Structure 1
């Protein structure tokens, strides 16, 4: 429920109150005198889903935007017919008013100093979690990260034509994630320098890091879904804080992985993670924007009037931001296309080799490939194939056979490393089969 308060001139009080009575809402009025004009404070309790609809109807009978209007979250309300009012509006589309949407988004924002500190600290925690291989610590870093707020406000500003909000939010995203990568790099270098972590650690082979430096179509899907979930939660009764963890899950560990790669002198890991980070940022923002558009949050006449002032400067700033984003999207798009094509060829080659009779006893657990770049820094690429087996047979020829098959399909010189996960298969029938196991000789 929401408690909405509106200060109206006395001559408009009758129309406003009559319209509220039509909806059988709990209404109270308080007479006040301020300056030369007699005014009345009209307070009414309304379900959250009805705020936008009721305010629109009040505008039709004379409510003005410049009047004092406040909407407060209410834990409890009691008036005649409150249950019927709540039940009626519970069946309507679940969507908050545009003014409420903007207010909720702005309330999530931290001041710049607090935001940058929280981004730095969350990335340091994520870096430590990746290096010690602790998923629990990595999850803790996601809870702290405040990155969801500027991402949602950027999408709101774009869909509501608030150019200043777009510019400020995009700037906060870039600065925050830039600080995160730099902080992760410095912290990783410090750990390496004091030998808190082995200096010769193969960071690219750490499982939690290996999955975070290769752009893929799945990363785009995760980013789009996370952004859409954030928008939907903000525009309804969803838990934005929980969705914020999902958004951070797609970004903070990746920023930490980039810092680790740079600190350990592995540009393939560092640049690959940065590309994945950029791709995910774009996907999250796009998912959030498309969701707000789908829910009908386009700009109205009020927005156009408010944000039309000083439009030239803001339009120029937004245009520069758009050009920068388009350039980044283009560069990331090319790299992502190369990576996706490379991964598809690797999967095809791996499938072809493992279908040979020699490898019938092997099962594929996972196939990962580092980011495919250009130039000597990224050549050769590393492909890691994890297989399951039921014996300790070494399969010494398999890495070379996989490397040859991948080279033939991609024209890329690759280094293949094969991991095995051994398991034992039972030879005694289960009790559920209805058979009696044959005793083994002692």
Structure 2
């Protein structure tokens, strides 16, 4: 429920009162003595979805748009007409004036915006290097990039070009500033002893999560944009915090910056693609939802112009997303193919050992080094096989090549196979039920031998 307070200009008191009576609204009127061109102040409760239409009726009754008007949230309203008002205005959407005010708050002053942006980037970059999910979540909460995305959409819908332009500008400059901050921080840390020399950030799980953007990232961003727009439309500001955590704009920007600092253009590009996709999808979904919800410009005469501007902006964003979807599609397909290849490799080698059924010989592990990048640049997958073998059994010298031939024939792709042997003992009381479930014990003084199908490694 909202409590609306409006100043009544001289000579319009009767028409204002008549309008409120027609609307079935309880009101209270107080004499106004502070400003000479107003004769009274009226205040009345109304559901959030009714504020906009009631104010339009009052404007027609003589209330000037630039007059003193306050809309306040209320805890409790007791009124005989309250039930009828709720039935008349059943929606939960706030008025466009409230939406405009909330959008202004979401794009704070430049000093505040960039202070929070730089701090959140530092926190996110540190969390990435520490592989700390909790630290990264903290950066998501502090990050201010979600606000300008919403305010840019509101500015477009309400035909406030300054708000829309500032929202877009803050997003672009903020993204570049976040990447630059992470790059500088990453470079500085490499000059200290705070991180190990020769650190490969691609092996950090939190970084790896943000260097393989796929179509699921697009769905996440679209959903987050819709949730953010709904939270603003319905006055649920606390929901926006959860949305900011879900879409996670700053961590991928920090990942991109660290990629530049560590000389890894692939990491930098992947992180940048992810954050740009997120921002574009948020803008697109928020624009569409605000339009569908029926928000119109503050000046009704500009409605047709807003429609033209909206179509132009939606088209531009959709084209940008479509271009980036080429990258998302390539990553999605290549990720599926590499993971499928890894699983098929494990199944084939398990079957080989089951069919061989050599007493005392167990398959300890199979690992496949095959990433989407390897697939895209046509690099051969590397398969590492670890085999447990008794001391008195001679290891086949050509086992790696035999595995290589089998995998190449069944999977239709060249592969490099490396086989390692460990001396293993298996107790008589229990027979391993699955080769991969076995945990062979390495005897003291045991040795490891390596056989490989790669020509440079074969002996």
Band the TM-score falls in, shorter-chain normalisation:
0.7 to 0.9
Distance in structure 2 (CA, Å) of the matches to 1:121 and 1:251: 14
The question of whether the paired residues in 1 share the 8 Å contact of 2:8 and 2:41 is answered with: yes
Cα separation, partners in 2 of 1:209 and 1:382, compared to 1, 3 Å: farther
Aligned length: 397
Deviation at 1:240, TM superposition (A): 4.2
Structure with larger Rg: 2
Shift of 1:186: 1.1
215-224 vs 150-159, greater mean Cα deviation: 150-159
Matches within 5 A, 1:110-149: 110-149=108-147
The equivalences for 1:138-177 within 5 A come to 138-177=136-175
Q: In structure 1, what is the equivalent of residue 264 of structure 2?
A: 266
State the alpha-carbon separation in 2 of the partners of residues 161 and 406 from structure 1: 61
Structure-2 residue corresponding to 1:67? 67
Distance in 1 of aligned mates of 2:249 and 2:190: 23
Cα 1:198/1:96, change in 2 over 3 Å: same
Q: How does 1:353-392 map to 2 (within 5 A)?
A: 353-356=345-348, 358=350, 369=371, 379=377
* Post-superposition CA distance 1:327-356 (Å, at most 9, x none): 854653332333233234334434543443
Larger mean CA deviation between 216-225 and 352-361 belongs to: 352-361
User: Take 2:297 and 2:365, find their aligned partners in 1: how far apart are those partners?
Assistant: 54
Note if contact 2:334-2:372 (Cα within 8 Å) is conserved in structure 1. Answer: no
Between the aligned partners of 1:384 and 1:20, the Cα distance in structure 2 is: 77
Partner of 2:326: 334
> How many angstroms does 1:416 deviate by?
11
Distance in 1 of aligned mates of 2:416 and 2:259: 18
1:57, distance to aligned residue in structure 2 (A): 3.1
The 1:250/1:38 distance shift into structure 2, 3 A limit, reads closer
Would the alpha carbon gap of residues 255 and 187 (structure 1) be closer, same or farther in structure 2, given more than 3 Å must change? same
In structure 2, what is the Cα distance between the partners aligned to 1:328 and 1:15?
51
Cα separation, 2, equivalents of 1:185 and 1:399: 44
Q: Does 1:230 align with 2:222?
A: no
The 3 A distance-change label for structure 1 pair 343 and 7 is: same
Alignment-derived partner of residue 21 in structure 1: 21
Contact 1:353–1:401 (CA<8 Å) still a contact in 2?
no
TM-score, normalisation: structure 2? 0.72
Query: Highest relative contact order (Cα 8 Å, sep 6+), 1 or 2?
Result: 1
**1:102 counterpart residue number:** 100
Q: Deviations over 1:270-291 (max 9, x none)?
A: 1111111111111111121122
Deviation per CA, 1:120-157, whole angstroms, max 9, x where unpaired? 10011111111111111111111111111101011112
Residue 291 of structure 2 corresponds to 293
Secondary structure of 2:41's counterpart equals: strand
* Deviation by residue 1:235-278 (Cα, 9 ceiling, x = unmatched): 0032344244335x421111111122221111111111111111
4+ aligned runs moved over 4 Å, structure 1? 33-36, 85-89, 305-308, 321-331, 359-374, 379-385, 391-409, 413-417
Q: Deviations over 1:201-254 (max 9, x none)?
A: 22111111101012210000010011110000000032344244335x421111
The 5 A counterparts of 1:190-339 are 190-238=188-236, 239-246=238-245, 249-299=247-297, 301-302=299-300, 304=302, 329=321, 331-339=323-331
Three-state SS of the structure 2 residue aligned to 1:356 is helix
> Deviations 1:95-124 (Å, cap 9, x if unpaired)?
011111111111232210111111110011
Indicate if the aligned counterparts of 1:180 and 1:255 stay in contact, CA closer than 8 A.
yes
Counterpart Cα distance in 2 of 1:151 and 1:235: 14
Contact 2:107 2:167 in 1 (8 A): no
Aligned to 2:42: 42
Question: What is the CA–CA distance in structure 2 between the aligned matches of 1:265 and 1:399, rounded to whole Å?
Answer: 36
Q: Offset of 1:12 from its aligned partner?
A: 1.9
Q: Over the residues paired in the alignment, what is the CA RMSD in angstroms?
A: 4.4
- Matched with 1:54 is 54
